[in-house]
Amino acid sequence: MDHRFNRWRSFAGALLLLTFFVVAVGCAQAVQYPQSTLHPKGDFALMVDKLFHTTLVWATIVFVLVEGALLFVIFKFRGKPDDPEPKQVHGNTMVEVIWTAIPALVLAMIAVPTVRTIFRTYEIPKGADVLQVEVIGHQWWWEFRYPQLGLTTANELHVPVGRTVALKMVTQDVLHSFWIPQLAAKRDIFSNRSTTLWFKAEEAGDYPGQCAEFCGIQHGRMAFQVIAQSPDEFDVYVGRMKATAVKPAAPAADSTAKPTAAASALTTTTLAATATADVDTMPGSQLFMMKGCIGCHSLNATVPMGIGPNLAGIGRRLYIAAGWLENTDANLAKWIQHPQTVKHGVLMPDLGVTDAEAQSLVAYLRQH
């Protein structure tokens, strides 16, 4: 008896410890895993989360009842050494009807809200207030176009809080899947037809997104950020992006971000630079053309290019190389100099950019 009691005590102890770890890991998720769908911050994600909880409640009720009944029967009717042979039975219509009807009822309770949510999430929001965004998947970066605003950007999608965003998505090459865990579910992107998705950010913040369909060697580094900001901040962002249509050297494009003195110095040096100048001492604006960057990257948010990511506003982005590196000077220089080392397989070739040239290009890009 003592022996059996001890075994029960260690079993209960282990169960308690396990429960503690599960709860601890569950509570730590908010901090450690920003890509968790369990912390919804948009109406679409909240709907899916609600559905998950409905299912979880039903599943928990079924689990507790079934396992409880099972344990009860196991212990209540456990065999003893001198027990006679139990009575043999063959089928029981009443019991079979009951154990078919109850699961059918439970499934119906889950199916109705599920189907309702599926239809709701596939609706295409309409109205003048809906912010339209075209998403174009590329190996391995994201292009975002705002047709109503005439703007194009890459890897960082700014949206106003409280306004529905309708996405229309295609891919330029292979299949991708667009996923912002905290704002909306994931949805695949195809080359021969467009798919749609919508969300409304309920809270300001930076929300990481990720390609969720294997699309080649750098699939894991095809991330993006959704920056949900107040409508006023969003308007400032739009104004700043529209101003990139002005020649880059004009400091008025963003007087807060661009050091005016440096910008005018740049204009002077640009004008002063001649074809015979040493390449190492060329200003970034000249290098941007000389090295061929301009062949793929637009620095003007109003001109979509589609070959390489649009770089208007690159100076302020949180990440570079599609969410792979933090946007620091050192990382930007490394990325410009050794794209095939940083992210092997990307379209951008190693162009033989020297350290000094990389510094100039970084300084130039920081002003955009």
Taking CB under 6 A as the criterion, which residues in 318-347 touch ligand CUA? none
Query: Is the distance from CB of 117 to CB of 185 less than 8 angstroms?
Result: no
Interface with ligand CUA includes 365 (CB under 6 A)? no
| Count of Cβ atoms closer than 10 Å to residue 192 Cβ | 6
Taking CB under 6 A as the criterion, which residues in 196-215 touch ligand CUA? 211, 213-215
Nearest-approach distance from CB 40 to ligand CUA, in angstroms: 23
Q: Which is nearer to ligand CUA, 137 or 160 (CB)?
A: 137
Query: Is the distance from CB of 210 to CB of 179 less than 8 angstroms?
Result: yes
Q: Which is nearer to ligand CUA, 250 or 325 (CB)?
A: 325
Q: Which is nearer to ligand CUA, 150 or 216 (CB)?
A: 216
Q: What is the DSSP string of 137-184?
A: EETTEEEEEETTTTEEEESEEEEETTS-EEEEEEESSS-EEEEETTTE
Interface with ligand CUA includes 186 (CB under 6 A)? no
The CA distance from 164 to 23, in Å, is: 35
Interface with ligand CUA includes 222 (CB under 6 A)? yes
Q: Which is nearer to ligand CUA, 168 or 240 (CB)?
A: 168
Interface with ligand CUA includes 223 (CB under 6 A)? no
For residue 192, the 8-state DSSP code is S
Q: Which is nearer to ligand CUA, 139 or 300 (CB)?
A: 139
Interface with ligand CUA includes 221 (CB under 6 A)? no
The count of chain residues that interact with ligand CUA, using the rule CB under 6 A, is 9
Task: Output the CA angle 329-331-332, nearest 5 degrees.
Answer: 65
The CA distance from 213 to 203, in Å, is: 27
Residue carrying the six token digits 């809080």: 161
Q: Of these, 39, 168, 219, 242, which contacts ligand CUA (CB under 6 A)?
A: 219
Q: What is the DSSP string of 251-291?
A: GGGGTTTS-HHHHHHHHHHHHH--TTS-GGGS-HHHHHHHT
| Residue among 263, 346, 225 nearest 297 (CA) | 346
Taking CB under 6 A as the criterion, which residues in 77-96 touch ligand CUA? none
Taking CB under 6 A as the criterion, which residues in 144-183 touch ligand CUA? 176
Q: Which is nearer to ligand CUA, 207 or 234 (CB)?
A: 207
Question: Would you tell me which residues interact with ligand CUA (CB under 6 A)?
Answer: 137, 140, 176, 211, 213-215, 219, 222
